[in-house]
Amino acid sequence: MLTDPIADMLTRIRNANKAMHDRAVMPTSRMKEEIARILKDEGYIRDYRVEQGESYDSLVIELKFGRNRERILTDLKRISRPGRRVYARKDRLPRVLGGMGTAILSTSTGLVTARTAEQEGIGGEVIAFIW
């Protein structure tokens, strides 16, 4: 059975966040690193790094919590899947929770947020919603 590596990444982060773990560890890829970079830029995670391994490299995501251990990251949802791709035109970009959340898009210039795509006037594949 083939699994979606991006959905697997989001599930690992979601599970670690719900269990109040300090970090989530998963096999790395360039796409996963870019998603982690966006999560860090948007302030959802503390930091991320790639650790070298014997057979494969691991992506370590340091989760972020508030003062009283309240979660900063509420939820992550995979939108476009291998079985059903979802695309957004430049004039119909998605808004997550009325602008409170973040949509990650895969564009011709790489992975960007919907806000950045709107500023650049480009559309693309809707990867995930984060709030």
Query: Looking at the domain that runs over 76-130, which CATH code has it been given?
Result: 3.30.1490.10
Residue 37 has pLDDT above 70, yes or no: yes
pLDDT value of position 32: 96
> Which of 99, 84, 93 has its CA nearest to residue 112?
93
Q: At the top level of CATH, which class does the domain 5-63 belong to?
A: alpha beta
pLDDT value of position 2: 57
SS3 10: helix
Q: What pTM, to 2 d.p., does this model score?
A: 0.92
Q: What is the mean pLDDT of residues 83-91?
A: 95
- What sign has the CA pseudo-torsion 41, 42, 46, 47? negative
CB 126 within 8 A of CB 103: yes
End-to-end CA distance of the chain: give it in Å, rounded: 30
Residue 1 has pLDDT above 60, yes or no: no
